[in-house]
Amino acid sequence: MKEALSPPSAPTPIGPYSPIVRASGELFFFSGQIALDSGGNLVGTTIAEQTDRVCRNIATLLESVGLTFDNVVKTTVFLRSMNDFAEMNAVYERYFGASKPARSTVEVSGLPKGALVEIEVVAVR
| Alpha helices (H) in the chain, listed in sequence order | 47-64, 85-96
Beta sheet of 72-79, edge-to-edge order: 2-5, 20-23, 27-33, 117-124, 72-79, 102-107
Helices (H) and strands (E) in the chain, counts: 2, 6
Average pLDDT, the chain: 93
The CA–CA distances, whole Å, from 11 to 34, 35, 101 equal 10, 10, 24
**pTM, to two decimals:** 0.88
Give tens-digit pLDDT for 55-71.
999 999 999 999 999 99
CATH number among 3.90.190.20, 3.60.15.10, 3.30.1330.40, 3.30.470.20, domain 2-124: 3.30.1330.40
